[in-house]
């Protein structure tokens, strides 16, 4: 069979660019727009012909000078591809990439790609709110238990006083004390009832969750950290709330990244194991960071415990809380200068469980 041959012409290349949903433009060294695709012009409420010859910073930001940190300006100076994030006047978020265009080794123009990430930003903000809310529930849960113990003590001693005091006036005060403690105990029970359970219980593939979160995890790890992912060949099905378990994965990778100020490796793996006629799905996150000593390891899941004064110490307590609500448990191995390995065990699920719900 004769192989098909196709020559990529300038016309066909620009035809491709016209139908890509990202903003695309070519600008000269003074940032005058020489060409743009339809999406670029439409998002400005203009036509490509109206855009040509105008400076990009005037079109998008009504400025008379280039934006600070503009990736196109940097690309023209460095001769390398540069990237930055920008917010348009109407609050839309874009990732801008400037690619220098050279002719005979000399930079003549710059090709800009503007990828809108507004929806992703909204999701990320909601995710941060979810993290904060989960932390509030965790702290609330801890505090209510503490107050419950205090009220039980006061209530017990008040009952003892009631049985021993015969003076009518004092008995009245003790009755008021008992009544107040009982009201306080009811409030504590109401607060405990606020404890969250997985809001969206469904059977899903843990591999798919890791894959869909990969780019977010790469951004968290940064360029100097090598992110290694090894996924189970068997579909690791678990039942729970994918969004909450995404929080777990992100928090663990964030902690691992913080443990490695320079270079290092973060490894994520999934596997299905069978023990005592039971099947468990194991999510493992390990790092080559500075590790934890015995005292830190024992306290790392306690609410408000942190060795970083800039943090609130809620991350790992949130992780533990979510895992427990998914009927799972956590194992942590760590030692100074030897990194940390976190293993989370979830009950294995089946598609039949999804159909039964």
Same domain, 153 and 210: no
Whether residue 124 sits in one domain with residue 110: no
Reported residue count of the chain is 357
Q: Residue 149's CB: how many other CB atoms inside 10 A?
A: 10
* Residue 5 covered by a domain: no
Residues 260 and 163 in one domain: no
* Residue at 338 is within a domain: yes
| DSSP assignments along 262-331, one per residue | SSEEEEEEEEEEEETTEEEEEEEEEE-S----HHHHHHTTSTT--S-TTS-S-HHHHHHHHHHHTT-EEE
Residue 96 pLDDT level (bands cut at 50, 70, 90): very high
| pLDDT above 80: residue 291 | yes
Q: How confident is the model at residue 259 (pLDDT cuts 50, 70, 90)?
A: confident
| Number of structural domains the chain divides into | 3
Q: What is the largest CA-CA distance in the chain?
A: 110
What residues pair up with 283 in beta bridges, in sequence order? 270, 344
Q: How many CB atoms lie within 10 A of CB 225?
A: 20
pTM comes to 0.48
How high is the pLDDT of residue 20?
A: 80
Average pLDDT over residues 226-244: 88
Q: Are residues 104 and 130 in the same domain?
A: no
pLDDT of residue 312: 36
pLDDT, mean over the chain: 80
pLDDT digits (tens, 9 = 90+) for 24-66: 999 999 999 999 998 888 887 788 899 999 999 988 878 889 9
* pLDDT value at residue 269: 94
Q: Tell me, yes or no, whether 228 and 298 share the same domain.
A: yes
Shortest CA distance to 142 belongs to which of 339, 312, 326, 354?
A: 312
Q: What is the CATH number of the domain that holds 72?
A: 3.30.450.20
Distance separating alpha carbons of residues 25 and 35, to the nearest angstrom = 5
Distance CA 326, CA 201 (A): 9
pLDDT category of residue 125 using cuts at 50, 70 and 90: low
Q: Are residues 99 and 51 in the same domain?
A: yes
Share of the chain above pLDDT 70, in %: 78
Beta bridge partners of 330: 344
Estimate to the nearest angstrom the gap between the alpha carbon of 30 and the chain centroid: 38
At residue 74, the pLDDT reads 94
Looking at residue 66, its pLDDT comes to: 92
Distance of CA 104 to the CA centre of its chain: 44
> Which of 39-53, 117-131, 247-261 is the least confident region?
117-131
Do 242 and 323 form a contact (C-beta atoms < 8 A)?
no
Of 97, 116, 135, the one marking the end of a domain is 116
Res. 133: pLDDT tops 70: no
CA–CA separation, 239 vs 280, rounded Å?
12
More confident residue, 329 or 3: 329
Residue 97 has pLDDT above 90, yes or no: yes
Residues 207 and 187 in one domain: no
Question: Does 2 map to a domain?
Answer: no
Q: Please identify, among 168, 192, 216, the residue that sits at the C-terminal boundary of a domain.
A: 192
Same domain, 327 and 214: yes
Is the pLDDT higher at 303 or at 232?
A: 232
Listed residue (109, 98, 103, 107) closest to 35, CA to CA: 109
Query: Do residues 84 and 208 share a domain?
Result: no
Of the ranges 191-200, 212-221, 281-290, which is most confident? 281-290
Domain boundary among 139, 166, 192: 192
Beta strands in the chain (DSSP E): 23-28, 33-36, 82-87, 93-103, 106-116, 202-205, 225-230, 237-240, 264-275, 278-287, 329-334, 340-347
> Three-state SS for 29?
coil
Round to whole Å and give the CA distance between 136 and 304: 11
197 against 11, higher pLDDT? 11
Position 120 scores a pLDDT of 64
Pair 30, 112 in one domain: yes
Q: Do 75 and 88 sit in the same domain of this protein? A: yes
Structure tokens belonging to residue 271: 């596997």
Mean of pLDDT values over 223-230: 89
Nearest to 301, CA basis, from 269, 330, 338: 330
In the predicted structure, residue 75 carries a pLDDT above the cut 90: yes
Domain extent for 143:
120-192
pLDDT bucket at 1, cuts 50 / 70 / 90: very low
């Amino acid at each position: 069979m004769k192989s098909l041959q196709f020559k990529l012409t300038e016309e066909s290349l620009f035809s491709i660019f016209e139908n890509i949903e990202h903003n695309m433009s070519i600008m000269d060294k003074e940032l005058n727009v020489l060409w743009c695709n339809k999406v670029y012009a439409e998002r400005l409420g203009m036509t490509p012909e109206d855009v040509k010859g105008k400076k990009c910073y005037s079109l998008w930001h009504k400025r008379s000078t280039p934006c600070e940190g503009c990736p196109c300006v940097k690309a023209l100076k460095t001769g390398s591809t540069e990237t930055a994030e920008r917010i348009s006047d109407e609050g839309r978020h874009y990732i801008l990439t400037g690619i220098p265009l050279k002719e005979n080794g000399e930079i003549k123009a710059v090709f800009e790609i503007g990828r809108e990430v507004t929806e992703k930003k909204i999701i990320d903000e909601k995710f941060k709110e979810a993290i904060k809310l989960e932390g509030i529930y965790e702290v609330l849960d801890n505090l209510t238990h503490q107050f419950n113990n205090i009220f039980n003590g006061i209530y017990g001693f008040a009952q003892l006083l009631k049985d021993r005091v015969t003076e009518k006036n004092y008995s009245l005060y003790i009755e008021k004390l008992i009544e107040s403690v009982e009201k306080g105990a009811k409030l504590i029970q109401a607060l405990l009832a606020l404890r969250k359970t997985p809001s969206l219980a469904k059977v899903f593939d843990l591999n798919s969750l890791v894959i869909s979160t990969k780019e977010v995890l790469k951004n968290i790890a940064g360029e100097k950290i090598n992110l290694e992912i090894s996924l189970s060949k068997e579909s690791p099905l678990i039942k729970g709330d994918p969004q909450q378990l995404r929080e777990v994965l992100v928090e663990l990778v964030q902690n691992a990244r913080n443990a490695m100020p320079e270079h290092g490796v973060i490894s994520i793996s999934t596997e299905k194991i069978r023990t005592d006629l039971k099947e468990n799905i194991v999510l493992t996150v390990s790092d080559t960071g500075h590790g934890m000593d015995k005292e830190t390891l024992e306290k790392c899941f306690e609410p408000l415990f942190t060795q970083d004064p800039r943090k609130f110490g809620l991350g790992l307590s949130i992780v533990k809380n979510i895992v427990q609500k998914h009927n799972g448990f956590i194992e942590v191995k760590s030692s100074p200068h030897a990194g940390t390995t976190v293993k989370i065990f979830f009950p294995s699920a089946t598609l039949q469980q999804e159909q039964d719900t």
